[in-house]
Amino acid sequence: MDTQIDTILAFLESVHPYDSLPRNEMARVAASFGRREYLAGDRIYEVGEPLKGLYLIKRGAVEVTDRNGVLVSILGPRNTFGERGLMRDGLAVTNAIAVEPSVVLVLPEGDWRQLIAGVPAFERFFQRGRSAEVRSSDLTTLKVTDLMARSPVSLPPEASVTEAAQLMREKHVSSVAVTREDTLLGLVTTRDLTEKVLAAELPGSTALGQVMTVDPLTLSPDALGSDILHMMLERSIGHLPVVQDGKLKGMVTQTDLTRFQAVSSAQLVRDVVACETAEEMAEVTARIPRLLQQLVAAHNAHEVVTRLITDIADTVTRRLLKLAEAQLGPAPVPYLWLACGSQGRQEQTGVSDQDNCLILDDSVTEGDRPYFKALAKFVSDGLNTAGYVYCPGDMMATAERWCQPKAVWRQYFRGWIDTPSPEAQMLASVMFDLRPIGGTTALFRELQEETLAAASKNSIFVAHMISNSLKHHPPLGLLRGFATIRSGEHKNHIDMKANGVVPVTDIGRVYALRGELTEVNTRARIEAAEDAGVVSVSGARDLIEAYDLIASLRLESQAALVKAGRKPDNFLAPSDLSDFERSHLRDAFVVVRTMQSALGQRTGALG
């Protein structure tokens, strides 16, 4: 029995928010968990059944569907489910089925509610997760402008039906708006061409004005998704022009609604799991920008958006590892694939490269090396094919330096801590963001604990890390303005990554270092630092609010680019913001700069 509790305890140390508990409290919680095993296809619970407690996946995969059988999510190790039912009346509001042999830990409801009531990190974690789950899937509350095609296909009324048919084929659409100087006159659909032209044996030269639906039903840009659904269902129509002041602004079709409902993080994860090649995965990940746009449009918190997008990258990585082992055979010794950078912090957006490494068991021999070299190449090449391009700094498992036994990694960290050169500071900054993705997590747990302990006690190293964290400055200009980029492609823009989120990421990393905190996500680090007393309550609250605004505006800018048919980037023009937004963004940058100054002053960071 003790062995089982120790195993659960070791697992909880790698799961947020359990990793924020004091050691003795974590041990108590570990003893409260029950352990259940399921075969592929086994039902865990159904809608309306009393829940046994909060479910936590230790191994395997679980599919969650709603009462209509529509997929809600497909979950893997360290994912939690069942909390929505507990937050209501203890009855399941979804169905859960094991899709492969799985081990699930169950925390009784009483113990879970005690944690929610007594540990701030738990309350924040589950309340945010629940509200996001509701929002992200709610089509009815989205505005029409978030669903419509930005550039509707249109022709003048004199154009022929042949021209319309050819244009529809070329643009892969099922309708053409009939306009004159952007004023909507009518609508022609493929159904009109079939019933009014072909069936009536009209010539191809027939003008659209003769067969169009005059004054079709329209919507305004501020209408909601519910308005679209109700109108389409009530009137049995599949095309709705969006009109403002008589001018055509867009078009919403049943296909748009279907596409929206089909693009979810859960569906993308499920599709990745079914892929047999990296090329197939690339077809799935190509839908991520659309997912980003939808999640932002649904007003999800930025940390929820980036977490869901990162989950897809994690799934791609684990799937590639599985395919690699299928091709190369079982690994000769235990290994662990880890991600760093934005994937490690679970902060990926629409712009991501790959940063990763391998920790090998110390029993590895020179004869085993070719296997892991091939494994690293297979996975890194696959990630590149799937859209996670090679790291320009070669921070990848394919580099021999970053594919080493645990003992060598221990030497790396000790060397960086004992001799904090500029390169050591840079590497330490990257490697303090490591997060296990696939393999034997035990290879990292002890290494992480001893590294954080050693680093936090080395005042010179901490001072160097703080100094390094102050190199990225918020873009504050004179007279309440912004320091924008002065020339080049992004002239008069702000780099919302390098000068926006990175300074906060650096501060959060220092907090984690000083408090020996195992959290990797930036927001979670600040919250954990507040709970641990590393930073004042007011300072943490101010910094979180500033970070939320900066990160949210960055995502909104990326979503706007996607909506316009452009590739997302990290550059934002302050002129695109309202006066209100500009004022608050500058205030947020002031908070970040103030917190940077406080770090330097309190510790005497090296300049």
Shared-domain flag, residues 453 and 595: no
Task: Give the total residue count for the chain.
Answer: 607
> Are the C-beta atoms of residues 82 and 133 closer than 8 Å to each other?
no
Domain membership of residue 135 (yes or no) is no
Distance of alpha carbon 111 from alpha carbon 552, whole angstroms: 34
Shared-domain flag, residues 197 and 289: no
Shared-domain flag, residues 415 and 524: no
Residue 477 is part of which domain span?
A: 467-603
pLDDT at 550: 96
Shared-domain flag, residues 501 and 557: yes
Shared-domain flag, residues 547 and 498: yes
Shared-domain flag, residues 418 and 312: yes
Segment holding 239, helix H or strand E: strand 239-244
Domain membership of residue 132 (yes or no) is no
Residue 533 Rama label (left phi>0; alpha psi -120 to 50; beta): left
User: Taking 50 as the threshold, does the pLDDT of residue 72 lie above it?
Assistant: yes
pLDDT greater at residue 3 or residue 202: 202
pLDDT at 141: 63
Shared-domain flag, residues 253 and 269: no
pLDDT grade for 273, boundaries at 50, 70 and 90: confident
Domain membership of residue 126 (yes or no) is no
User: Taking 50 as the threshold, does the pLDDT of residue 543 lie above it?
Assistant: yes
Domain membership of residue 191 (yes or no) is yes
CATH number at residue 517: 1.20.120
DSSP state of 143: B
Domain membership of residue 20 (yes or no) is yes
Domain boundary among 457, 475, 494: 457
Shared-domain flag, residues 231 and 363: no
Instruction: Tell me the whole-structure pTM to 2 decimals.
Output: 0.69
Encode pLDDT of 83-119 as tens digits: 877 766 678 888 899 988 899 999 998 888 888 887 7
What's the alpha-carbon Rg for the chain, to the nearest Å?
Answer: 27
Number of domains in the chain: 4
Domain membership of residue 240 (yes or no) is yes
CATH number at residue 86: 2.60.120.10
Shared-domain flag, residues 44 and 23: yes
Shared-domain flag, residues 316 and 388: yes
Domain membership of residue 462 (yes or no) is no
Shared-domain flag, residues 236 and 287: no
User: Taking 50 as the threshold, does the pLDDT of residue 132 lie above it?
Assistant: no
Encode pLDDT of 157-168 as tens digits: 999 999 999 999
CATH number at residue 420: 3.30.460.10
Q: Which of 248-262, 367-381, 547-561 has the lowest mean pLDDT?
A: 248-262
pLDDT at 604: 47
Domain boundary among 120, 153, 173: 120
pLDDT at 189: 92
Shared-domain flag, residues 87 and 207: no
DSSP class per residue in 466-520: HHHHTSS---B-STT-B----SSTTTT-EETIIIIIHHHHHHHHHHHHHHT----
Domain membership of residue 438 (yes or no) is yes
